Structure 1
């Protein structure tokens, strides 16, 4: 039964004209955007709203974050990490954060 479903889906994907408009939007590859989506995006760029800071905390330390508009990042001063904001949405995955104390660490190693 599962193989039949997979086969049907595979055949439908090979014939995108046979799918409804809703199904085509749902089956589009992640990250792929149509020309209309790109134009809409260019007209209305998403920006981070600083009022969200009252609800957001660092997922690692659970401490409040600071918004840095010049780099478009949320900064955790205590841990020395910065979370990027992409299309107005904070990426709060710790692996996506960059360290902000690299210069301090480099200076310390040079002094020792």
Structure 2
């Protein structure tokens, strides 16, 4: 079972271009030949929030991975999710701040 998951992860990483170690021919200096890297949603099967260890939702319009429970979004840069908690942004404010105070 583990080897099957490992194989699927390796396939997804190869397909998305993640995991190149700099081996083989170098990419051309002319960037116009290569389309921009896109995030492969198949990686969502393996990626979880580093803080809560819960699954993430891919938001294509914002190019982010969203943790609804914690209200944070991790940016995706050149097809690679930046899963560093300090790089995440808050997606909503505290409920206490949104509700007007009642006296």
What TM-score, normalized by structure 1, do the two folds share? Answer: 0.59
**Residue 76 (structure 1) aligned to one of 67, 73, 78:** 67
Gaps of 5+ in 2: 1-27
Higher relative contact order (CA 8 A, sep 6+): 2
Q: Please identify which structure carries the higher helix content.
A: 1
RMSD: 2.0
Q: Is 1:47 the counterpart of 2:69 in the alignment? A: no
Q: Give 1:44 deviation, angstroms.
A: 1.6
Q: How many residues align?
A: 74
What TM-score, normalized by structure 2, do the two folds share? Answer: 0.64
Gaps of 5+ in 1: 1-35
